[in-house]
Amino acid sequence: MDLSDYDLIITSGDWAKHVGMRKENHPQLHFEAAAAVRPLYDLYDFVKNRYPFLQRQVFKAWVWFMKKLDQQAVRRIDRFACCSEFVGKGIKKYYNRDAEVVGVPINVKRFKHREAEDFFLSVQRIAPPKRVELQIEAFRRLPEEKLVIVGAYDDRTYAKILKKIASKNVEFVGPVSDKKLVDLYSRCKAAIQTSVDEPFGQVPIEAMASGKPSIAVNEGGFRETVIHGKTGFLIKPPCVKNLISAVKNFHRYKFDAAFCRKRAGMYSEEKWIENLKEVARGMV
């Protein structure tokens, strides 16, 4: 694509960064939501070790080739913006580039707050890096509590294993409509997150916009979006043991719904646009 008629090109996504490979397509501002193509970098060992030997060799060859393409594209990008400080550090580590933190655009106004009912809510793609098995194991040992899991089955084999080991107090509802998701957030006790080094941590923000806290692993972007003790808990390894403890003792804590919703406002669509415009002003 020849985009030379434009004053500024804003890109986002693993393949979109390659726009700048054409010399006419500049200046290019790239918004990065995950530091890098994760299987090529920070999740390389995690993904590789899940394959049998022969597939592992194919994966290694694929990574070698894709990394070369990725690095070529990155060298042509004029400026980076990113969703979190955690991702900014990854961009520095893997690309040796600086990035401005602008957050993520979240429509916080669409969420509602209602009295909590009898379930905790888990929202994510059902894929191995999300470590949903930690949640299932914790709730297997918490038969008096209920967990509702929302998300598309990105890895159906993994999803089948999870359903097989899940106890009766865990319900899989699959992908749901936006309306249904807003409803579930509004009625849950708290959101639960166990992803490996989540780049940002959007689910805690959506929970906060619903006036609800989160229980998340003390990793990645969750450290920035969750204020421990005020908008939720950050649990350290061993995750299952500490997740069980957090759920068991959850009723002892009172979280201020108004404070949670105010905190979510820091990550609104309007705030993201304002931040991105500030970065772009220095480029045109």
Q: What is the CATH number of the domain that holds 220?
A: 3.40.50.2000
Domain count, the chain: 2
Confirm if 238 and 77 have CB atoms less than 8 A apart: no
Query: Are 63 and 122 part of one and the same domain?
Result: no
Residue 72 lies in a domain: yes
Q: Which residue range(s) make up the domain with 44?
A: 9-105+269-281
Same domain for 276 and 242? no
Q: Judge contact between 108 and 205, C-beta under 8 A.
A: yes
Task: Specify if 2 maps to a domain.
Answer: no
Both 260 and 217 in one domain: the answer is: yes
**pLDDT interval class at 35 (50, 70, 90):** low
pLDDT score of 211 more than 90: yes
Looking at the fold, whether 49 and 175 belong to one and the same domain comes out as: no
Residue 238 has pLDDT above 90, yes or no: no
Does 98 lie in the same domain as 38?
yes
Find the helix or strand (DSSP H, E) in which 10 lies.
strand 9-12
pLDDT digit string, tens, across residues 108-119: 999 999 999 999
Q: Same domain, yes or no, for 67 and 53?
A: yes
- The token duo for 215 is 């229980």
Q: Which pLDDT tens digit goes with each residue over 70-104?
A: 999 999 999 999 999 999 999 999 999 999 999 99
Q: Is 155:128 a contact under the CB 8 Å cutoff?
A: yes
Asked if 48 and 153 sit in the same domain, the reply is no
Residue 27 lies in a domain: yes
pLDDT band at 14 (very low <50, low <70, confident <90, very high): confident
4 domain residue, yes or no: no
CA–CA gap between residue 87 and residue 219 (Å, rounded): 12
Do 22 and 138 fall into the same domain? no
Residues 259 and 130 reside in one and the same domain = yes
**Are both 139 and 92 inside the same structural domain?**
no
How many angstroms separate the CA atoms of 216 and 271, rounded? 24
Based on the fold, state whether residues 97 and 194 are members of the same structural domain: no
